[in-house]
Chains A and B, each alone.
Chain A
Amino acid sequence: MSEYNMLEVNNLTKHYKVGAGKQVVHAVDNVSFCLEKGRTLGLVGESGCGKSSCARTIIRIYEPTSGQIILGEQDITTLSQKQLKPIRKKMQMIFQDPYASLNARMTVRDIIAEPLLAHKVVRTKEEANDYVYPMLERVGLTKEHANRYAHEFSGGQRQRVGIARALVLQPDLVICDEPISALDVSIQAQVINLLKDYQEEQGLSYLFIAHDLSMVRYVSDDVGVMYLGNLVEMCESNEIYKNPLHPYTKGLLGGIPIPNPKLARQKITSSIEGDLPSPINPPSGCRFHTRCPYAKSICSEAAPDMKILESGHSVACHLYE
C-alpha cells in the first residue's frame, strides 16, 4: 500500500437482498481502485450502475458484502459503528439533493455546528461559531445567513450549506455524490469552482460521483467508468476522452450532447442501444455484452478481468486480451 493513498478499495462488493431475501441485487461487484492524497477520482455511469451504492458502502452507510476499504492506513471494512466514529471525522459526504439533505427545522448555524458538536471538536454552540462563521464565508455565504432556515435559500445556496457541513471538520476525504445534478447550469460552475479551490488550499481528496461526463472530466484527475456494478475502465481523466477503450465508455461519450451546433451536426459517434439490464439477474460473462456492438461469443461466457495496459489505463474487455 502506497503511503500516498488516501483511499484504497479492494474487491468491494455490495449485494442487496430483495423479494423476501430470495433475490439478490448485484449493486457493486468486485470494484477495486485507489485514490491518492489531494486528488480527485470521478466515478461515472448510468443510473443504476452502482456508483452511489459504491460511495455509500465506502463511507459505511451501507455494510459491504465483501471486500476491503482502507482509509489512510486503516482497514475500516469491519470496524464497529463505535470504532468508526473517529474515522467519520476524516471522511465526509456531500449529497445530491440539497432540498432533502438539510434538516428543515434547524438553522444553518445548527446544521454546520452539528458535526463539530457530535465529534466534540467544540463543547458549546457559542464555541462552534468560531468555526461556523469562517466556514460560511469560505463557501460564499455570510454571517447573516447563519440564523436562517434551509427553505429560505435557493438550491445553489443550500448546496453551499451542505458543503460547509461536510468541510467544517476538515476531512481528508469527501465523497461528493452528484453534488451539482440538482443545480442550474449557471450555479453548477460556482459550486465546482468552490470545491476545486478548497482542494487546492487544503489538499484533501474527493471521490466525485456524477453522470455528467464533461463536468467529471473537468473536476477529476482520474476517472472510473462503472457499468451494472462493475468497474469497466479507469484512467487519467484526459486520456478517457482522448482514447476511450471500452465500448461502453465510447458509447457513453458518444451520447453527450455537444454544445456547439457545427460540431453537433458533424457528430457521427452513436450512443448505445437498449436499456440497462436488471442487476438482479445480471447478464453472464461481460455484463455489457447484451448492448455491445463488438460482442463476441466469449463475452457472454467469461467475465473479462481488469487489465492494466501500458499507459496506466485499465480496462475490462475481451477486445484487449
Chain B
Amino acid sequence: MEPVLTVKNLKTSFMTSNGEVQAVRGVSFQVEKGEILGIVGESGSGKSVTSMSILRLLADTAKIVDGEVIFGGNDLTKVTNRKMREIRGEKIAMIFQDPMSSLNPLIPVGEQVAEMIRVHHKELSKDELNEKVFELFGQVRIPEPEKRYKSYPHEFSGGMRQRVMIAMALANRPELLIADEPTTALDVTIQDQILKQLRALQKEYETSIIFITHDLGVVAELCERVIVMYGGLIMEEATIDDIFEHPKHPYTLGLLESIPAIDQEKANRLSPIPGSPPDMTKPPIGCPFAPRCPYARQICASECPEYVNINDTHRSMCWLLDPDAPADNNPFYSL
C-alpha cells in the first residue's frame, strides 16, 4: 500500500548571524496509513524542524535546502503557497506543545474550531458549523460543549486547551496528524487522559500520526514504530518492540539506560550519556554521536556511517554494525 507520507533526504538549515545551522541533515522516512510513528530525540536533534518542514511552517530564516516531501502525489517542498494552505488543516493537521500560545486568547475556543472547518468548507451554514463543533467537543470529552463553545482559552486548564487543539486538528478528518510534544507541558494524569483519547480517535478515524516526543515511556505506550534522531540525522528506525528489546545504536541504548525503571534498585547508579549534544553550526564530520559514544572508534570521528538494515523494519546508522569498519582502538572511551 502507498505510504501516506514519504520524506526523502530532507535537509533544513537556519541562516543565523553565527553561520548556517544545519538542523536537519538528510532525513528519510515513510508514514504508512493508520500507523502511529514516534520521533524521539533530545532538544536540538531536529525532530521539530523535520515536522515543521513537512508543513512548511518554518521561520523566515530557515530554508529547506534539499529533499522531497511526498504527500498525496505532490512534493510539498515545491507546491504553491495556496495549495499548501489547502493541505494544512485539511489533509495534514498539527498539534503543538504549548496549547496556550497556539490558541488565540481573544477569540472563544468554539469559534476557533469552527474557523478551522469553515476555511476548508465554505458551503456550511453557521448552524451546521456549530453542530460540528459541539460534536467534536463531545468526542474529545470537553464537558458541556454548548456552554464551553463561548469560553476563552484562559478559562481552560492546560489539559482542556490541549483537547481544544485536538478537536481543531481532527475537525477535517486529516489523513495525517503531526503531534509535536502535545503532552510535555501536562501532568501525568492529564497526559494519560489525552493519550488514551488520541489512540481512540486514531482508531476511529484511521488517521496516521507522527508523534514527536522525548519521553520513551510515552512512545512505548502509543507508537508502533519509532525513529530515533540525533544531530539532525536518524540514528535508528525500528518497530517499538525492536527499539526497546534489541536497540542497535549506542545512542538508543544510552537513552534507554538513562531513565530509571520504576523498580530500579537505588544502589544502582543511573548511567547517563556523558557530554552534551553537538553544536549544529559546526556539525561533526563523522557520526554526530561519536564524541559521547562509549564505543566510538577512530573512524567514527572522521566518517559518517551508512545505514545498516538489521531486518525489513529495523535500520541503524553505526560503524559497529558495519562488518567492513576498521577495528582499531577506542580514542573516545576516556570521555
A193 at the interface (CB under 8 A from B): yes
* CB-based contact A189/B218 at 8 Å: no
Task: Given the known inter-chain contacts A258-B221, A259-B220, please indicate yes or no for A190 contacting B274, CB distance below 8 A.
Answer: yes
B256 at the interface (CB under 8 A from A): yes
- Which residues of chain B (220-264) have a CB below 8 Å from chain A? 220-221, 240-241, 244, 254-256, 258-264
* CB-based contact A213/B188 at 8 Å: yes
Task: Given the known inter-chain contacts A154-B276, A189-B272, please indicate yes or no for A260 contacting B192, CB distance below 8 A.
Answer: no
* CB-based contact B261/A272 at 8 Å: no
A262 at the interface (CB under 8 A from B): yes
Instruction: Name the B residues within 8 Å of A155 (CB-CB).
Output: 43
A214 at the interface (CB under 8 A from B): yes
Q: Which of A186, A192, A264 contacts B273 (CB 8 A)?
A: A186
Q: How far is B271's CA from A190's CA once the two chains are assembled, in angstroms?
A: 8
* CB-based contact A255/B189 at 8 Å: yes
B159 at the interface (CB under 8 A from A): yes
- Which residues of chain A (161-197) have a CB below 8 Å from chain B? 184-190, 192-193, 196
* CB-based contact B188/A259 at 8 Å: no
* CB-based contact A258/B220 at 8 Å: yes
A-B contact count (CB 8 A): 128
Q: How far is B240's CA from A205's CA once the two chains are assembled, in angstroms?
A: 40
* CB-based contact B270/A189 at 8 Å: yes
Instruction: Name the B residues within 8 Å of A196 (CB-CB).
Output: 269
B100 at the interface (CB under 8 A from A): no
Task: Given the known inter-chain contacts A186-B42, A260-B220, A267-B221, please indicate yes or no for A255 contacting B260, CB distance below 8 A.
Answer: no
Q: How far is B158's CA from A47's CA once the two chains are assembled, in angstroms?
A: 10
- Which residues of chain A (116-140) have a CB below 8 Å from chain B? none
A77 at the interface (CB under 8 A from B): no
- Which residues of chain B (124-166) have a CB below 8 Å from chain A? 157-160
**Residue of B whose beta carbon sits closest to that of A272:** B189
**Residue of B whose beta carbon sits closest to that of A213:** B188
* CB-based contact B217/A257 at 8 Å: yes
* CB-based contact B264/A218 at 8 Å: yes
Main secondary structure of the interface of A (DSSP, over half): helix
* CB-based contact A264/B220 at 8 Å: yes
Q: How far is B215's CA from A15's CA once the two chains are assembled, in angstroms?
A: 35
A254 at the interface (CB under 8 A from B): yes
Q: How far is B268's CA from A217's CA once the two chains are assembled, in angstroms?
A: 13
Task: Given the known inter-chain contacts A256-B217, A258-B221, A259-B217, please indicate yes or no for A189 contacting B258, CB distance below 8 A.
Answer: yes
**Residue of B whose beta carbon sits closest to that of A273:** B193
Instruction: Name the A residues within 8 Å of B191 (CB-CB).
Output: 255, 257
* CB-based contact B244/A260 at 8 Å: yes
Q: How far is B183's CA from A255's CA once the two chains are assembled, in angstroms?
A: 12
* CB-based contact B259/A214 at 8 Å: yes
* CB-based contact A185/B216 at 8 Å: yes
A276 at the interface (CB under 8 A from B): yes
* CB-based contact A257/B272 at 8 Å: no
- Chain B contact-residue range equals 35 or more
Task: Given the known inter-chain contacts A213-B188, A252-B189, A257-B217, please indicate yes or no for A185 contacting B262, CB distance below 8 A.
Answer: no
**Residue of A whose beta carbon sits closest to that of B158:** A47
Instruction: Name the A residues within 8 Å of B63 (CB-CB).
Output: none
B21 at the interface (CB under 8 A from A): no
Q: Tell me the smallest distance from the CB of B168 to a CB of chain A, in Å.
A: 19
Instruction: Name the B residues within 8 Å of A47 (CB-CB).
Output: 158, 187
A261 at the interface (CB under 8 A from B): yes
Q: How far is B159's CA from A275's CA once the two chains are assembled, in angstroms?
A: 8
Q: How far is B266's CA from A190's CA once the two chains are assembled, in angstroms?
A: 15
Residue interface mask A237-266, B partner, CB < 8 A = 1 = 110010000000001101111111110100
Q: How far is B195's CA from A192's CA once the two chains are assembled, in angstroms?
A: 28
* CB-based contact B157/A218 at 8 Å: no
Instruction: Name the A residues within 8 Å of B263 (CB-CB).
Output: 241
Instruction: Name the A residues within 8 Å of B258 (CB-CB).
Output: 185-186, 188-189
* CB-based contact B277/A271 at 8 Å: no
Instruction: Name the A residues within 8 Å of B120 (CB-CB).
Output: none
**Residue of B whose beta carbon sits closest to that of A271:** B192
A104 at the interface (CB under 8 A from B): no
Q: How far is B218's CA from A178's CA once the two chains are assembled, in angstroms?
A: 20
Task: Given the known inter-chain contacts A217-B262, A261-B240, please indicate yes or no for A46 contacting B42, CB distance below 8 A.
Answer: no
Q: How far is B216's CA from A267's CA once the two chains are assembled, in angstroms?
A: 16
A52 at the interface (CB under 8 A from B): no
A156 at the interface (CB under 8 A from B): yes
* CB-based contact A154/B269 at 8 Å: no
Q: Tell me the smallest distance from the CB of A258 to a CB of chain B, in Å.
A: 6
Instruction: Name the B residues within 8 Å of A184 (CB-CB).
Output: 42-43, 214, 277
Q: What are 7 sample pairs from A and B whose C-beta atoms fall under 8 A apart?
A: A184-B277, A185-B42, A186-B254, A255-B187, A257-B221, A259-B244, A275-B157
Assuming A187-B276, A193-B269, A252-B189, what are 12 further A-B pairs, CB within 8 angstroms?
A185-B259, A186-B254, A186-B258, A186-B272, A189-B270, A190-B272, A190-B273, A193-B272, A214-B261, A257-B188, A257-B218, A276-B157
- Chain A interface (Cβ within 8 Å of chain B)? 46-47, 154-157, 184-190, 192-193, 196, 211, 213-215, 217-218, 237-238, 241, 251-252, 254-262, 264, 267, 270-273, 275-276
